[in-house]
């Protein structure tokens, strides 16, 4: 199809849509805001009156942004996050500090006048880091910094002393006969190829090594850059495979050990870990609302981040930042007396780091009424550095509306649209069910430098302004979505 015929076609469709468009809640099964060309490409065709309606939010969006980045809320997001992390430290699922922080959040949300503030219980895996020590004993003595991976077991009492096999990839490991692996500690030293591709070494190291009789596995930390810090994270034991201890070591040590091994130096490690798993604990998702002027308990817009963190650093970045901008966005809208038609619901998920446990529980608990209850899901869990726009997951009609809304974010220089989102682990349960969902797109190039390490602190931000900008974008976007005359279109998925 030529360019001209596309243009004509779109023009024609727009005429038809314009005549259908009306103000008020639309029936999404009739209305549509995009058109799929025979080539498969989607063309946006948002009706004029909806385009105008969205553009009409520019003044209120400007006011929200200005108050948060330059007005009375300037600096407050960073200060609140510093207070949270300084008061409670890291917020590991099932820890006392997380539960104290949840109590503090509940109290604080009530104080600032959020509505329907409550928690919802979640049963979560309970893993405790114990004493962890690793020492290179050959070719020379060196304490290796390590962090046991979430769910790892400990070593036998007194630790393990074993020779090392070091490999760069699972492929390389496959070629080594089991009799050579038996009784050894296997060190996996994958090259960084982005998080998604590399993290499989963290998830699968223990069981992969155990299948050939290894006594423990160590993994190069999953990060592109290091200054001598290990990075923890979750790992999974395969069913019916012997559980062996597994930990992350630093990039520097892992690559050195790989060089030593390839050079033919004898490498021996003394590993001692007392990590262990306990029966599930009860933890809580934390919820507060700015209830809608028209709809209170239906077509809710969820704005969220996870409140739990790993037990290293203080979880300021992952995901204190995402949780705090969600909480503050709604708090500031309330303080500005800017209340949308639909309810804005802050959810601070619990036990994300153990496998999106809190979010999954929430989905199970709310699934039966989902058609009525929810409209849109926002999540920030891939950094709160300078905002660029939104990562979106949803159908092409919803996408076209989101693109219109993003035009309002010019004062923040954050109008970028990307899809599909890769930053919404907790809301993925809902996007898989066809709900429109968006994640904060931000300049997070260095996110994995700090991720799951002692570097996850208030120092990841160069300036308080950065968090102000994220909160401003978050508040403005969520307000417009929640106040719009129509629900953002959803794709219906069978409810199983």
Q: Which stretch binds a second copy (CB under 8 A): 15-23, 107-115, 384-392, 446-454?
A: 446-454
Q: Is residue 449 at the binding interface for a second copy, with CB under 8 A as the rule?
A: yes
Closest CA to 18 of 57, 51, 43, 41: 51
Q: Is residue 255 at the binding interface for a second copy, with CB under 8 A as the rule?
A: yes
Q: Is residue 431 at the binding interface for a second copy, with CB under 8 A as the rule?
A: no
Count CB atoms within 10 A of the CB of residue 225: 10
Position among 35, 88, 332, 430 found at the interface with a second copy (CB under 8 A): 88
Q: Is 404 a catalytic residue?
A: no
Position among 241, 459, 463, 493 found at the interface with a second copy (CB under 8 A): 459
- Report the residue number, 320 or 340, with the smaller CB distance to a second copy: 320
- Report the residue number, 83 or 238, with the smaller CB distance to a second copy: 83
CB of 430 to a second copy, least distance (A): 34
Closest CA to 153 of 216, 91, 220: 216
Position among 89, 245, 321, 425 found at the interface with a second copy (CB under 8 A): 89
Sheet holding 115-128, edge to edge: 115-128, 276-290, 344-349, 300-306, 374-379, 437-442, 387-393, 416-418
List the x/- string, 264-283, binding to a second copy by CB under 8 A: -x------------------
Of the residues 67, 255, 272, 352, which is catalytic? 352
* Binding residues for a second copy restricted to 53-72, rule: CB under 8 A: none
Pull the structure tokens for residue 2: 């030529």
- Report the residue number, 260 or 414, with the smaller CB distance to a second copy: 260
CB of 126 to a second copy, least distance (A): 18
Q: Is residue 466 at the binding interface for a second copy, with CB under 8 A as the rule?
A: no
- Report the residue number, 83 or 111, with the smaller CB distance to a second copy: 83
Q: How many chain residues are in contact with a second copy, going by CB under 8 A?
A: 38
Position among 458, 473, 477, 482 found at the interface with a second copy (CB under 8 A): 458
Q: Is residue 139 at the binding interface for a second copy, with CB under 8 A as the rule?
A: yes
- Report the residue number, 8 or 131, with the smaller CB distance to a second copy: 131
Position among 299, 421, 457, 471 found at the interface with a second copy (CB under 8 A): 457
Q: Is residue 106 at the binding interface for a second copy, with CB under 8 A as the rule?
A: no
- Report the residue number, 319 or 483, with the smaller CB distance to a second copy: 319
Position among 74, 138, 142, 296 found at the interface with a second copy (CB under 8 A): 142
CA geometry: angle at 60 spanning 26 and 330, to 5°?
80
CB of 275 to a second copy, least distance (A): 15
Q: Provide the residue count of the chain.
A: 496
Position among 130, 156, 183, 228 found at the interface with a second copy (CB under 8 A): 228
Q: Is residue 83 at the binding interface for a second copy, with CB under 8 A as the rule?
A: yes
Q: Is residue 105 at the binding interface for a second copy, with CB under 8 A as the rule?
A: no
List the x/- string, 302-341, binding to a second copy by CB under 8 A: ----------xxx---------------------------
Q: Is residue 101 at the binding interface for a second copy, with CB under 8 A as the rule?
A: no
Contacts of 424 (CB under 8 A, 6+ apart): 377, 379, 381, 391, 393, 431, 437, 438, 439
Position among 15, 23, 87, 493 found at the interface with a second copy (CB under 8 A): 87
Q: Which stretch binds a second copy (CB under 8 A): 20-28, 106-114, 174-182, 451-459?
A: 451-459
Q: Is residue 140 at the binding interface for a second copy, with CB under 8 A as the rule?
A: yes
Q: Is residue 376 at the binding interface for a second copy, with CB under 8 A as the rule?
A: no
Q: Which residues bind a second copy (CB under 8 A)?
A: 82-83, 85-89, 97, 139-142, 145, 225-229, 250-252, 255-256, 259-260, 263, 265, 312-314, 449-450, 453-455, 457-459
Catalytic machinery residues: 352
């Amino acid at each position: 199809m030529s360019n001209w015929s596309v243009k004509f076609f779109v023009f024609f469709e727009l005429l038809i849509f314009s005549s259908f468009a009306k103000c008020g809640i639309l029936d999404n099964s009739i209305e549509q805001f995009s058109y799929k060309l025979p080539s498969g490409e989607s063309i946006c065709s948002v009706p004029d009156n909806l385009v105008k309606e969205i553009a009409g939010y520019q003044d209120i969006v400007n006011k929200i942004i200005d108050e948060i980045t330059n007005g009375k809320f300037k600096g407050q997001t960073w200060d609140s996050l510093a207070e949270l992390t300084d008061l409670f430290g890291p917020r590991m699922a099932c820890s006392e500090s997380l539960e104290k922080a949840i109590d503090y959040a509940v109290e604080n949300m009530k104080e600032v006048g959020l509505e329907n503030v409550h928690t919802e219980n979640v049963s979560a895996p309970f893993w405790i880091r114990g004493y962890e020590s690793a020492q290179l004993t050959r070719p020379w003595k060196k304490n290796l910094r390590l962090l046991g991976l979430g769910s790892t077991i400990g070593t036998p009492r007194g630790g393990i002393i074993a020779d090392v096999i070091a490999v760069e990839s699972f492929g390389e490991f496959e070629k080594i006969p089991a009799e050579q692996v038996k009784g050894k500690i296997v060190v996996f030293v994958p090259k960084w190829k982005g998080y998604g591709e590399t993290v499989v070494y963290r998830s699968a190291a223990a069981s992969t090594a155990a299948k050939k009789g290894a006594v423990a596995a160590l993994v190069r930390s999953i990060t592109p850059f290091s200054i001598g810090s290990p990075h923890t994270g979750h790992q999974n034991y395969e069913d019916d495979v012997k559980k062996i201890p597994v930990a992350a070591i630093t990039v520097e040590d892992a690559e050195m050990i790989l060089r030593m091994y390839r050079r033919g130096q004898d490498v021996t490690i003394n590993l001692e870990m007392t990590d262990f798993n306990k029966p599930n604990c009860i933890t809580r998702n934390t919820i507060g609302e700015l209830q809608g002027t028209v709809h209170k308990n239906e077509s809710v817009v969820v704005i969220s981040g996870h409140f739990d963190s790993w037990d290293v650093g203080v979880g300021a970045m992952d995901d204190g930042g995402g949780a705090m901008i969600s909480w503050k966005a709604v708090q500031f809208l309330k303080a500005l007396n800017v209340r949308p038609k639909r309810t804005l619901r802050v959810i601070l998920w619990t036990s994300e780091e153990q496998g999106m446990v809190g979010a999954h529980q929430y989905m199970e608990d709310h699934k039966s009424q989902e058609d009525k209850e929810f409209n849109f899901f926002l999540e920030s869990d891939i950094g709160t550095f300078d905002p660029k726009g939104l990562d979106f997951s949803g159908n092409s009609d919803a996408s076209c509306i989101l693109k219109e809304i993003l035009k309002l974010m010019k004062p923040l220089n954050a109008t970028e649209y990307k899809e599909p989102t890769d930053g919404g682990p907790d809301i993925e349960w809902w996007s898989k069910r066809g709900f429109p969902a968006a994640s904060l797109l931000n300049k997070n190039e260095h996110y994995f430098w700090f991720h799951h390490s002692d570097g996850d602190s208030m120092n990841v931000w160069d300036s308080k302004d950065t968090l102000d900008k994220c909160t401003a974008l978050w508040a403005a976007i969520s307000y417009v979505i929640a106040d719009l005359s129509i629900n953002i279109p959803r794709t219906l998925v069978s409810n199983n």
